[in-house]
Amino acid sequence: MDSSLSIGYLADHPEWVEELANQHWEEWRDLVSTWGRPQASEELWEHAKHRQGIPTTIIAFDKDLLLGSVGLEVYDYQEIQQYSPWLTSLWVMPFARHRGLGTYLVRRMVHEAACLKIPRLHLLTLDHTTFYEKLGWTLLELGSVDDHEISIMSITPRHLAEEELRFH
């Protein structure tokens, strides 16, 4: 990835909605039996209506190649509505992983949450607890959703300095 990497709101790039819906569905289709490709598209079109609000999605792309995304939602699963809002759908193309893009996207969304004066941000993960802990998230509880063991984590959003928001 080079200087042609762009980061922006899905609202400013609606041309990526359907491709992103395909990628999200491919990534998580086995996780929730009641969620399908049409729901992925519908959710992302709703995100494409908002910048700096809830819901929203931030995307990373390089010219005509979608590289990653992260979302902000009121809640992630109906079964665990006691926490809100949620960082959701952190996704990076397999070939672009392990280069810092996921870290950047998480930091960017934490910064967004701070700008929105969100006092506490949550996420759930199946198996990336260590990744999020390194970024300052703490484990709130262990649980299960749709027969999957999950970790629910949280962070107090803060404004990040420009150098912390720069992708290297």
Give the pLDDT of residue 76.
62
Fold (topology level) of 5-165? Aminopeptidase (3.40.630)
pLDDT in tens for each of the 168 residues of the chain? 446 889 999 999 999 999 999 999 988 887 777 778 888 899 999 999 988 899 999 999 998 899 999 999 987 666 666 788 999 999 999 999 999 999 999 999 999 999 999 999 999 999 899 999 999 999 999 988 778 898 999 999 987 767 676 765
Burial 20-47, CB ≥16 within 10 A → b, else e: bbebbbeeeeeeeeeeeeeebbebbeeb
The string of DSSP codes covering 42-58 is HHHHHHTT-SSSSSEEE
Task: Please report, for residues 15, 85, 109, 163, 164, the alpha-carbon distance to residue 150 in angstroms, rounded to integers and kept in the order given.
Answer: 32, 17, 21, 32, 28
Residues 6+ apart with CB under 8 A from 26: none
State the Cα angle at 90 between 152 and 59, rounded to 5°.
145
Two tokens, residue 5: 């990497």
How many C-beta neighbours within 10 Å does residue 7 have? 16
In contact, 51 and 9? CB cutoff 8 Å: yes
Give the pLDDT of residue 1.
43
List the domain boundaries for the chain: 5-165
